[in-house]
Structure 1
C-alpha cells in the first residue's frame, strides 16, 4: 500500500512521550518546531499519489499487483538505483531545500542485515526470518523507518560495564514476550517516525563472543517506556522570510531513552552475539551511503546556485578570480556526482543476491563529500560577500520610515530588485551562516559515522591487488610478498 500524508500524521498520534524545551509535546504533528518537517514527510507520501510524481515515487509490484514506495524496494538492478536516485532528486526540488532522514536512506541498513542472514542464522534462524519479515513489512506498510545508532558515550576510556551501564543500550533480561532493554540512543527524526532500527555503536568487543550490549532490533517509536527528548528546534527562532531553510527543513534530533522497554521477539534481529554486531557495523552503510551522499550533492547544488546568483547580480562573474572559485564549487559537485554515477555503473552483487553500489567508489565519494563540505561552505561565504552577515531583516525592508533607504541601497539593476536581493542574501545567510548551517556541517560530518570510520570504510573496501601486482612486477619482487598480503 501507499500511505497518504494524512495517514502518516494520524499514525503519530499514538501516545508517544516527546519533550522539547522542557515541555511535553501533546501532538508532534501540531507542535510549531516539529510540524514543518512532519509536513515535508507527509508531502513525500502525498507525492506518491499525485499525477506527475506518482510514476517517480512509486512502482507496482508484479507479484502482488500492489503499489509500493520506490525508496523501500530491494535493489536488484541498475535501473532500481536510477529510479531511487530520480525519486530523491524529485523530492528535494519539491520541498525547496533538503532533508536527510525521511526513510529511504535508512532502510538500506536493513538490507545489510539481509545480506548477513548466514551470520544471523548462527545465532538463531528465527532472527534471519525476522529481518526478512521487517523488510517486507516496511515495503508493504510504507512505514516511516529510521535508524538509531549513536550513544551518549560516557567515559570511553572505560568498558560499559565499568561505569553506569545505561550509558550504552543493553539487555536487562529475557522474557517469554521478548527482551527488556535500558539505555539511550540519539536519532534524528525519531519523534516523528514510526519505527527505528536500533543497533550497537562502534565498539571493541575484544574476544567476547557474547555481550549484553550487542543488540539489534526494531522498536516502535510509541512503545511504552520509550521517551523522546528533543533538541531545541531552529524553526520559529526568526521569521521565515529571513531564515527560510531553518523554518522549513529543520530535522529534529532526539535523545531516545529506553526505560525498560519491551522488544517483542519478532522484532529482535540479533542480541548478545558480538559477531553479528561487528558484521552490521562493518556493512551498515553498504546501501544507505548512496542516498546519504546524494543529499550532499543537493547541498552542493544549493551552494553553487547561491554563489552564482550573487556574483552575477553584482557583475563579478566575468572576473577570472571569481570564476576560479566557482569552478572549485563545480568540481566539488561533479566529483560527488561522478562517484555516485560510477558506483551504479560498476555496481556489485551483494552476498545476499542484491545489487549494491560499487563499494570502493561509494565510500570514497562519501568521504570526499563530507570532508570537503566545510571548505565549500566557506568558499560560498566568500563569493557571497560580507552582506550576508550585515543585511537588515525583512521587517526593516517593510518599515514605512526606512524602506525607501533599503530600496535605494539594495536595488542593483533592472534585473535585481531590492526584494530579490534581500531574499537571496537571506537564503545565503541561512544556508552557510545560520545556527542551522553550523548544525548541518556537524551533522553531515558525523551522520553516517565519524571521519575516521569513513576512511576505514574506504580502506577496507578498496581492492589493492592491481596496484600491488604492478609494483611486484615493476620491482621484480618474489611471490612471497604477495602471499604475505593475501594472508593479512
Structure 2
C-alpha cells in the first residue's frame, strides 16, 4: 500500500550511520542539511493520499492502491501517466528534484528484461528480481541506485590495488554474500534501499569475477555507512538562496564494510555476462524521468529570463526575443524527444513497453550537452544584477533599505521586493554553488557524456541509412551491411 510521509520518516530512524561534516547524524529527518529534501520526499508520499492528487499519483490493482511511479510500463498510457504524475509533484513542490525514486526504480526493470541471463547463473536470481519489483510496488519504498565506485587508480585492475576501490564479494555464506567497497550515491542516507550494481570492470574474457555483483542493499543494514558531502541547505538565508535551501539532494559516499546481502536480495554474483548486460541496458527506462527533469529546469530558466525581461521592459527588443527563442527551442527539443520516445515506444525483451531507445538516448544527449550553453543564455538575459545584488538583510535594514528600495523599484507594478526575489531565484538557479553542483550532477548522474554517446550509437538502427546510400550510390550487391 502507499505510504504516508510520516511512515517514510519513521523508516529513516532505523539506527543508520550517517556522517555530515564530521558530525554523526542522530536523526536524518531533523538535520539541517537533510530535513528539506526529506520533507519533499515525505510530501510526495502525502500527496498520494490527497483527493486532489490521488488519481494522478496512484493506481488501483487487486483492490490495492499503488504509486504510479512504480507501475511497470506496459502501454503508452503508462508513460503519459508517469509524466502527468511528475508534473503534479514538481508543480506542488515548486522546484525540481531528481533522485526521489521514480528516476532509479526503472533500473530494476532493465534487469527484469534480462531474467534469461540471470537464470543462466541460477534460476533463483531471475525470481529474485521479479519478487523485488513486486515488493517495491507493494511497499512503496524509496528506492535509489548504487552505481559509481571510487575506482582508485584506473590504470590498474581492481585486484592490483586496494581491492575495496570497487565493490566486490569477499565471502559466501549460507545466509548470503558479504560485500566490501563503496559507492557514491545521491540520497542513500535518506532512502530505504539501493540497487547495487557494478561499474564496468576491467574484464576481458573472464566469465567469473568477484566484482560482478548485483543486488539490493538496505540503507540501514549493519556495515552500511553514509558519508555526506557538505550540504547547501542552511548555509545562507532561504530568502537569498531559495533553491539551495529547499531542493539540495545530498550525495553520499556509501561505505559497505562487510555487508551481508541475503540470497533473496542477490540478482547476480560473479557473472560478468550479467554485469555487462545491466551496464548496457541500465538506463533503458530511467533515462526518461531523468531527461524529463531537465525539461523543468528549462522551464525555470525561461520563466526567470522572461520575468526579468518583463520587469525591465526589455521583452519587446528583438535581440532579447531571439535569446528567449533559443531557450524555447531547447525546451521544446527535450519535449519533442520525450514525446516521440513514447509515440514510437518499443516492446522490451521482458514484454514491457520501453521508450524508443534511439530517440530517448538522443534526447538525453540534447538535454545534457546543451544545458551549459542554455544556462549562459539565461544568465545573459537575467543580467549582471544577479551577481551584484545585496541580500535580503540589506533590503530590510534601516540604513540601506531605503536606498535599495529606491534603486530596485522599477515601476508601480514591480517594487523592490519582487525584484529582489526574482534576482535571488535566478542567482540560485544559474550562478550559485548549488547551480554549479546541479550542472555537474546532470552531466554525470547517469554516466559521463561518452557513455551517453555510446548508448545512442548502440541503440540506433544504421541499416536504414546504409541501405538508402547503397541504393542511391548504386553499390554492388556484394556490399552487405554485416554486423557492427
Q: Aligning the two structures, in what range does the TM-score lie when normalised by the shorter sequence?
A: over 0.9
**2:222 aligns with one of 212, 221, 224:** 224
Q: Give the Å deviation of 1:205.
A: 1.4
Q: Give the Å deviation of 1:202.
A: 2.4
| Corresponding position of 1:404 | 402
Does 1:380 find its partner at 2:378?
yes
| Corresponding position of 1:37 | 37
SS in 1 for 2:412: coil
After TM superposition, list the pairs within 5 Å mapping 1:305-320 onto structure 2: 305-320=303-318
Deviations 1:34-60 (A, max 9, x none): 000000000000000001111111010
| Corresponding position of 2:482 | 486
Separation in 1 of the partners of 2:358 and 2:470?
23
**1:215 aligns with one of 213, 216, 237:** 213
Deviations 1:197-232 (A, max 9, x none): 010012341101110000101000000011000000
| Corresponding position of 1:278 | 276
Q: Give the Å deviation of 1:481.
A: 2.3
Separation in 2 of the partners of 1:153 and 1:166?
8
**2:104 aligns with one of 86, 103, 106:** 106
Separation in 2 of the partners of 1:236 and 1:433?
18
| Corresponding position of 1:185 | 183
**2:86 aligns with one of 85, 88, 91:** 88
| Corresponding position of 1:77 | 75
After TM superposition, list the pairs within 5 Å mapping 1:102-141 onto structure 2: 102-141=100-139
| Corresponding position of 2:50 | 50
Separation in 2 of the partners of 1:31 and 1:114?
36
TM-score (norm 1): 0.99
Separation in 1 of the partners of 2:284 and 2:359?
11
Deviations 1:159-208 (A, max 9, x none): 00011100000010100000000000000000000000010012341101
| Corresponding position of 1:415 | 413
Does 1:66 find its partner at 2:64?
yes
Separation in 1 of the partners of 2:460 and 2:368?
19
Deviations 1:275-308 (A, max 9, x none): 0000000000000000000000000000000000
Alignment: residue pair count: 484
Separation in 1 of the partners of 2:413 and 2:438?
32
Q: Give the Å deviation of 1:487.
A: 3.0
SS in 2 for 1:469: helix
SS in 1 for 2:478: helix
**2:244 aligns with one of 240, 243, 246:** 246
Separation in 1 of the partners of 2:385 and 2:156?
49
**1:344 aligns with one of 332, 337, 342:** 342
| Corresponding position of 1:299 | 297
Separation in 2 of the partners of 1:254 and 1:208?
31
Any unmatched runs of 5+ in structure 2? none
Q: Give the Å deviation of 1:312.
A: 1.1
SS in 2 for 1:181: strand
Contact (CA 8 Å) 2:365, 2:453: kept in 1 or not? yes
SS in 2 for 1:486: coil
Does 1:15 find its partner at 2:11?
no
Separation in 2 of the partners of 1:315 and 1:203?
56
Separation in 1 of the partners of 2:136 and 2:392?
44
Deviations 1:425-465 (A, max 9, x none): 00000000000000001000000000000000000000011
Separation in 1 of the partners of 2:281 and 2:365?
16
